[in-house]
A and B are shown apart, each in its own frame.
Chain A
Amino acid sequence: MKLHQISVFVQNEAGSLAKYLRVLADGGVNIHTLTLADTRDFGILRMILREWELARELLEKAGAVVKVTEVYAIHVPHRPGGLADVTDLLLEAKVSIEYMYAYNLRKEGSAVMVFCFDQPEPALAALAKVGLTPVEPAILFGSPPSTC
């Protein structure tokens, strides 16, 4: 199942990140996982939140530029070569990974990685062949799933 990732443009300047995190905090929205991609001038804050629609609304109200991207959380075997096997599979399927990051959850010998694929369908098909399927929201968020 796909996840709705919230991405926010963040200026590389003191207080930029804090401003948006405070907006989410004040709105009572919990961030389940986040990663910050940064360059010299700017960064992109990528977040997975259960209440992604509320988060988008709050951030936009606070003046942020927000983008919602479809990403996938996949269990990856937690052993040497676990991730390398996955990337090999994707290479074979001629699918590119736009970016990926670790999800803040580890379970029964596997880690969870969040992937953004250029072509989600062949990527998921290739992964499904070896039994790797997207993680259900109930597991990611630890309570009844939301709409996503």
Chain B
Amino acid sequence: MNQHHWNDSECLFLPASAPDFLPIPQLRSLQLQRLRATVKRCYEHVALFRSRMEAKGLTPADIRTLDDIRLLPFTEKSDLRDTYPFGLFASPMSDIVRLHASSGTTGKPIVVAYTQNDIDVWKNVIQRTFACAGVGRGDIIQNAYGYGLFTGGLGVHYGAEALGATVIPVSGGNTDRQLMLMRDFGITVICCTPTYFLHIIDHAEKIGVDIRKLPLRAGFFGAESWTEEMRKRIEEMAGIKAYDIYGLSEIIGPGVGAESKSQDGLHIFEDHFFPEIVDPKTGESLPDGEEGELVLSTLSKEAMPILRYRTHDITSILTSPSGCGRTIRRIHRINRRSDDMFIIRGVNVFPSQIETAILQIEDTLPHYLIILTRKDNLDQITIQVEVTEKYFSDKISELQSLRQRLAHAVEQIIGIRAELQLVEPRTLARSEGKLARVSDRRQSNPN
């Protein structure tokens, strides 16, 4: 291991992070070896993958180079639903030590499985996630991701323990208790969704707790997309470093990628998860540096290997070397999804653009919903924004002005006039902390 270029002093003592610094040829050869084993495993043990490969006239022997991954069929989320519950498992249940599942709000849940080796890989990538930001033994980690079927809670938990840090398994909710523990236990690191942390900040302000004066120094925020504006606000208001983390249950859960201290994109732990960028419409592979949809293949998963999973997350693979010296590739932070994008009057609009506009007017991102309708053959866009205590005035003129400023900011960014409606708090639908951001009603009312 002596030939590696160590730039992060803290990583010298963390062998878990060693793969982050592998020389590129060694990394690629490891990836190819693992890819071939994964394809073979899929072909031999999973009927869906085998039939799809056969339909393309492929056998595992056709995968000779890493570029040959492009020959393989894609996997979609619907494939996980259609094979519910165990249809994509490549291991017998006797080798599987854990199952997780999604909430199934949009139909049947998806089920994911782990062998003991898979769990060990998961622990490894979570350790590397924390190590990326210099978090380790001695840190006290408040894990406010939901514990249970959701992968966030337990995934982070065991990785943080393996790291040697102290873990507080508080799970989500009960903000008063979150703040009490944060203060009384001298929490140094928090893990939760970025919107929940903004809620904690608001609540702290309300009950007179200054988070900036607490030992809290870093937050790992994931499970939903967030923006640079939100990062700035979190870092200022809480006096911490806010790190973006990336993961999805279909691939492993949290631990697919993470920012390092340089905060210059998310490192993908690509010795286990191989990233590609494709054109979201055609599925054609795009070179590093170009923006498109992230496609991930697992390279070491046993219980549920996945080939070329369409994440629908829009990003690009960064080509510049990272400031932290890691050789594993980075992706640009994700704040758009290909399935979230909508086209109105011929213009492509992403919800993240609406968020940017709202954040120019309000300090924190309120819950919002974009509604698309059609009237007299013309597409209309209505944005409902929940009124928060901070921006509620009992003067009509001030609320009207807030509404106009929001509408103006949206128009400046997307170039289309939007109708803006202020709505009561908690009236917009939520599911597992995630929001439906767009409601397209153009088909249901064609007039």
B396 and A37 within 8 A (CB): yes
Q: Beyond the given A44-B394, A63-B426, A65-B388, could you list 4 further A-B residue pairs with CB under 8 A, ordered by the A residue number?
A: A7-B394, A10-B424, A64-B425, A67-B389
Does A66 have its Cβ within 8 Å of any Cβ on chain B? yes
Does B427 have its Cβ within 8 Å of any Cβ on chain A? yes
Which A54-100 residues have a C-beta within 8 angstroms of B? 63-67, 69, 98-99
Does A33 have its Cβ within 8 Å of any Cβ on chain B? no
Q: Which residues of the other chain, A, contact B427 by a CB distance below 8 angstroms?
A: 11
Does B213 have its Cβ within 8 Å of any Cβ on chain A? no
Selected contact of A39 from candidates B388, B389, B400, CB within 8 Å: B400
Q: Which residues of the other chain, B, contact A16 by a CB distance below 8 angstroms?
A: 424
Interface size on A, residues (CB 8 A): 21
Please give me the residue from chain A that is nearest to B403 by CB atom.
A41
CB distance from B192 to the nearest CB of A (A): 22
Given contacts A11-B424, A16-B424, contact A65 B394 (CB under 8 A): no
A65 and B424 within 8 A (CB): yes
Q: How far is the CA of A39 from the CA of B421 in the complex (A)?
A: 11
Given contacts A63-B426, A65-B387, contact A98 B395 (CB under 8 A): yes
Please give me the residue from chain A that is nearest to B396 by CB atom.
A37
Q: Which residues of the other chain, A, contact B423 by a CB distance below 8 angstroms?
A: 11, 42
Which A115-129 residues have a C-beta within 8 angstroms of B? 116
Does B185 have its Cβ within 8 Å of any Cβ on chain A? no
Q: Which residues of the other chain, B, contact A44 by a CB distance below 8 angstroms?
A: 394, 396, 399
Write 23 A-B pairs (CB below 8 A) sorted by A numbering.
A7-B392, A9-B387, A9-B392, A9-B399, A9-B424, A11-B424, A11-B427, A16-B424, A42-B399, A42-B421, A42-B423, A44-B399, A63-B424, A64-B424, A64-B425, A65-B388, A65-B392, A66-B392, A67-B389, A67-B392, A67-B394, A99-B395, A116-B394
CB distance from B112 to the nearest CB of A (A): 34
Q: Which B residues fall within an 8 A CB radius of A?
A: 387-389, 392-396, 399-400, 421-427
Q: Which residues of the other chain, B, contact A11 by a CB distance below 8 angstroms?
A: 423-424, 427
Judged by DSSP, the binding face of A is: strand
Task: Kindly name the residue among B395, B400, B425, B427 whose own CB sees the greatest number of chain A CB atoms within 10 A.
Answer: B395
Q: How far is the CA of A42 from the CA of B389 in the complex (A)?
A: 15
A1-32 vs B: 1/0 string, CB under 8 Å? 00001010111000010000000000000000
CB distance from A8 to the nearest CB of B (A): 9
Q: Which residues of the other chain, B, contact A50 by a CB distance below 8 angstroms?
A: none
Given contacts A5-B394, A9-B392, A65-B387, contact A41 B425 (CB under 8 A): no
CB distance from A66 to the nearest CB of B (A): 7
CB distance from B172 to the nearest CB of A (A): 18
Please give me the residue from chain A that is nearest to B388 by CB atom.
A65
Q: How far is the CA of A66 from the CA of B389 in the complex (A)?
A: 7
Q: How far is the CA of A76 from the CA of B426 in the complex (A)?
A: 41
Q: How far is the CA of A15 from the CA of B426 in the complex (A)?
A: 15
Selected contact of A9 from candidates B400, B421, B422, CB within 8 Å: B422
Q: Which residues of the other chain, A, contact B399 by a CB distance below 8 angstroms?
A: 9, 39, 42, 44
Q: How far is the CA of A42 from the CA of B385 in the complex (A)?
A: 12
Q: How far is the CA of A126 from the CA of B387 in the complex (A)?
A: 36
Given contacts A63-B426, A65-B387, contact A41 B421 (CB under 8 A): yes
Q: How far is the CA of A53 from the CA of B369 in the complex (A)?
A: 32
Given contacts A9-B387, A39-B400, contact A65 B395 (CB under 8 A): no
A-B CB proximity, top 3 nearest: A7-B394, A65-B392, A63-B426
Q: Which residues of the other chain, B, contact A9 by a CB distance below 8 angstroms?
A: 387, 392, 399, 422, 424
Given contacts A9-B387, A11-B427, A65-B389, contact A41 B422 (CB under 8 A): yes
B396 and A67 within 8 A (CB): no
A46 and B394 within 8 A (CB): yes
Q: Which residues of the other chain, B, contact A64 by a CB distance below 8 angstroms?
A: 424-425
Q: Which residues of the other chain, A, contact B389 by a CB distance below 8 angstroms?
A: 65-67
Q: Which residues of the other chain, B, contact A65 by a CB distance below 8 angstroms?
A: 387-389, 392, 424-425
B424 and A69 within 8 A (CB): no
Q: How far is the CA of A66 from the CA of B424 in the complex (A)?
A: 11
